[in-house]
Structure 1
Amino acid sequence: MNDNSPTPAKRKEPQPDPLLDTSADSDEPAFSWMSDSPSGSPDKTGPSKRPDSTGPSKSTGSNGETSPQPESRAGRKAAEAAVEPAGEEGPPLFSEPLPTSALQVRPPQEEVERRNAERESAAKAKPLTPRVMQVLLAIMYPVILLVLGVRAVTSPLFLWIEYNRPGFPGDGYGFSTDDRMTYGSYAVDYLSNWSGPRYLGELVNRSGDELFKGSEVSHMADVKLVILSAFGAGALLILVSIIAIAYLRRRSNGGVRRGLFAGSILTLVIILGLGALAVLGWQQFFTEFHRIFFASGTWTFALEDTLIRLFPGQFWIDAGIVIAALVLLVALATLVLTWPTRRRRGLTDDEQEASAKVEAV
């Protein structure tokens, strides 16, 4: 039988790996045209031309002679340096672009001085809003203290202290201390609540007669309007002061301290001025004060009227003294706490020495 099965192809024998050892290679170039020739011509033993050029490139010097162009970067740099004329320095090959001539033009000296002066004045100038806030805080501070002082004396506590203190004049028409405290508390409460005139008009004494006359109730309604207006203005000023303080704490270093310091000084001036007027003529001061807020003839009463029996002249003298004392104490404390010492002003050692020299001069 004949075996017709295909004969397997002969396997190729493995080829030996190429020799990669370069230790025995010489330094001679692989082609003769790659070797440098002293005359600039290629070696005669090999091809005289490169595959992609007609020969080594040549450069022309300043005298018109041509010289072979070096093939290496270092050689080209050396050749370029040799071509430059002696004593002349050309621009660098890879230099940064020069600025334009327009940017090099300096403005006149007067313009420079003017700009510097404007820059310095702008740096030294303070914003207007913080100054306005400081002035508002200084103006509102004494008004707030006066309103708080008035609120302190229009309270049952002050009324009790006043009726029970030694030396307070008694009532010659029969009111005891307990009667004064009871009826006086109604009058004081009426000044700070939202009740109408009937709150006082419907009160009766022990004998069943009305406690306050119509003229007294009408005057107390006028007093209530003044008192509530003062309290409302005080609350509004306190709110504005809080906003001013919050703004100055964020925008002006030491602005709160300066505003309160000026306000305390203004408060002392007002209190001392009013106190001097009251001491020199209390009756005249009391009369002029009532004329400012009340119509003439609506605030004068007889000695047997309830308002005079509850609130005699000594009561108003004591109330004025308490208001002035409270405001004066708070203003003095504020003045001490905000006094502009060097530490509070935040001066450095050098600035403190300069300030001390100025004060010594």
Structure 2
Amino acid sequence: MALRSTKGSVSASEGNEWSKLSPAISSKKPAASTASADELLNARRAERTYKVDSAAVSGTADSVFGGHDSPVDSVEPFKPVAFSGEKVEEKTTGSEATSVSSAAPVDQSVRFSTIAEKEEEAQRRAEVREIAVKDRPKALKLRATLIALTIPFVTLMLAIRGVASAPFLWLTYHRPGFPEDSYGFSPDERMTYGSYGMDYVRNLAPESYLANLKTAGGHNLFLSSEVGHMSDVKMVLWWATLGTLLLVVLALLASRSLRNRAPGVIRKSLFAGALIALVLMIALGVLGALGWETLFETFHHVLFPQGNWQFRMSDTLIRLYPPQFWVDAAIAVAAITLLISLLLLALTWPTKYRRELAKRRAEERLELRRRLTEGV
């Protein structure tokens, strides 16, 4: 009988050990934790039983077949037996004959193969249990940092996409004090044409989506330079969105098993990320208040180094999205980011209850590790 490879079966069985270990940590009831720990401890005792059986059978085999440590003289003299049905009558020198129950002849090769398999299984389970005991997650600090850094990007992207929408455009056009178009666009025309621009940067339409738009007089609504700039804006927004989604996926993968194996780490990471987003937005707000024009131009120089973002006041883009629109948009982005950050801070604030809960779960895990290590 071919023996299975121990190394190949350790990783495949690790999930089974964790299926027993995870409920013990995640459960709030001591009884459930104890039951899960007992299952692993019983498995440990079973392994010891396998080893005892192996030693006993090996000793018996040596005594029967004359092992290296057994002198031949120690073997009892052979006594002839007569097989009759399922009974064996032992021939003795006396007049009495003792009848004993006979079993089928034992195939020693099969018996030894079974023992080897049991020892292999015991070794495999011991290795998997060792992995479960030494369960500190790999790259814990790196994973916590990745989760924390994802939060500012997510909050900022949600705010930007919220502002690049028709509802925000309507609120801006209709708020008191917003400047009217001095070149003749009515509020309805402004809303219609402006919505096309907002939709274009968020959808997957080609440049013809804007290039084919006509005014009431039959002229092209946007110049080719304006369409090119809007196409650049669209590419920047979509790449930023895809990058943020990739960070979210990586953060979700990094957070796997941390809730059970490192209690409190996810909450601390989310709290740190919300705090970073809050501080960053406050810093940008201060810079904007001290020098809005400088901040606006620096932003465009970084994202659009080709320099096609400057237009005349009579161009359609400036008439639809005048300088005041960008001031309002920046304020809205800052407000949405601050709101999300404050909400996340409130949900992850290290209150006494949350600290004690994480501490209790960590202590339960340490106790389980101790019991698995000592086998008590």
Given residue 328 of structure 1, which amino acid in structure 2 is its aligned partner?
L
Q: Is the 8 A contact 1:141 1:260 kept in 2?
A: yes
Structure number with higher helix proportion: 2
* Shift in Å, 1:255: 1.4
Q: Is the 8 A contact 1:133 1:248 kept in 2?
A: no
> With structure 2 as the length reference, what TM-score do the two structures score?
0.58
Q: Is the 8 A contact 2:301 2:307 kept in 1?
A: no
For the residues of structure 1 that align with 2:147 and 2:244, how far apart are their CA atoms?
A: 13
Please say if 1:268 is aligned against 2:278: yes
Q: In the alignment, which residue of structure 2 is the partner of 1:130? A: 140
* Shift in Å, 1:282: 0.3
Please say if 1:322 is aligned against 2:332: yes
Q: In the alignment, which residue of structure 2 is the partner of 1:144? A: 154
1:191 to 184, 201, 204: 201
For the residues of structure 2 that align with 1:126 and 1:238, how far apart are their CA atoms?
A: 23
For the residues of structure 2 that align with 1:193 and 1:219, how far apart are their CA atoms?
A: 16
Cα RMSD of the aligned pairs, angstroms, is 2.1
2:301 to 286, 291, 312: 291
For the residues of structure 2 that align with 1:217 and 1:154, how far apart are their CA atoms?
A: 17
Please say if 1:229 is aligned against 2:246: no
Q: Secondary structure at the match of 1:346?
A: helix
Q: Kindly provide the CA deviation profile for residues 315-338 of structure 1, in whole angstroms up to 9, marking residues without a partner as x.
A: 111111111111111111211221
For the residues of structure 2 that align with 1:126 and 1:251, how far apart are their CA atoms?
A: 7
Q: Is the 8 A contact 1:192 1:224 kept in 2?
A: yes
Please say if 1:153 is aligned against 2:159: no
Q: Kindly provide the CA deviation profile for residues 63-119 of structure 1, in whole angstroms up to 9, marking residues without a partner as x.
A: xxxxxxxxxxxxxxxxxxxxxxxxxxxxxxxxxxxxxxxxxxxxxxxxxxxxxxxxx
Given residue 133 of structure 1, which amino acid in structure 2 is its aligned partner?
R
Q: Is the 8 A contact 1:301 1:308 kept in 2?
A: yes
For the residues of structure 1 that align with 2:317 and 2:206, how far apart are their CA atoms?
A: 18
Q: Is the 8 A contact 1:268 1:331 kept in 2?
A: yes
Q: In the alignment, which residue of structure 2 is the partner of 1:109? A: none
* Shift in Å, 1:297: 3.1
* Shift in Å, 1:129: 2.6
Q: After the TM superposition, which residues 201-212 of structure 1 pair with which residues of structure 2 at under 5 Å, given as runs?
A: 201-212=211-222
Q: In the alignment, which residue of structure 2 is the partner of 1:167? A: 177
Q: In the alignment, which residue of structure 2 is the partner of 1:302? A: 312
Bigger-Rg structure (1/2): 1
Q: Kindly provide the CA deviation profile for residues 51-72 of structure 1, in whole angstroms up to 9, marking residues without a partner as x.
A: xxxxxxxxxxxxxxxxxxxxxx
Q: In the alignment, which residue of structure 2 is the partner of 1:337? A: 347
Given residue 194 of structure 1, which amino acid in structure 2 is its aligned partner?
L
For the residues of structure 2 that align with 1:331 and 1:148, how far apart are their CA atoms?
A: 12
* Shift in Å, 1:239: 2.3
> With structure 1 as the length reference, what TM-score do the two structures score?
0.60
Q: Kindly provide the CA deviation profile for residues 200-225 of structure 1, in whole angstroms up to 9, marking residues without a partner as x.
A: 11111011110000110111111110
For the residues of structure 2 that align with 1:125 and 1:196, how far apart are their CA atoms?
A: 52
Please list every run of 5 or more consecutive structure 1 residues that lacks an aligned counterpart in the other structure: 1-122, 350-361
Q: Secondary structure at the match of 2:169?
A: helix
For the residues of structure 1 that align with 2:275 and 2:189, how far apart are their CA atoms?
A: 43
Q: Is the 8 A contact 1:245 1:256 kept in 2?
A: yes
For the residues of structure 1 that align with 2:188 and 2:254, how far apart are their CA atoms?
A: 46
Q: In the alignment, which residue of structure 1 is the partner of 2:292? A: 282
* Shift in Å, 1:248: 2.1
* Shift in Å, 1:236: 1.9
Given residue 203 of structure 2, which amino acid in structure 1 is its aligned partner?
N
Given residue 191 of structure 2, which amino acid in structure 1 is its aligned partner?
M
* Shift in Å, 1:251: 2.4
The alpha-carbon distance between structure 1 residues 191 and 331, as it changes in their structure 2 partners (threshold 3 A), is same
* Shift in Å, 1:126: 5.5
Q: In the alignment, which residue of structure 2 is the partner of 1:178? A: 188
Q: Secondary structure at the match of 2:305?
A: coil
Given residue 220 of structure 2, which amino acid in structure 1 is its aligned partner?
E
Please list every run of 5 or more consecutive structure 2 residues that lacks an aligned counterpart in the other structure: 1-132, 361-376
Q: In the alignment, which residue of structure 2 is the partner of 1:254? A: 264
Q: In the alignment, which residue of structure 1 is the partner of 2:227? A: 217
Q: Is the 8 A contact 2:136 2:262 kept in 1?
A: no
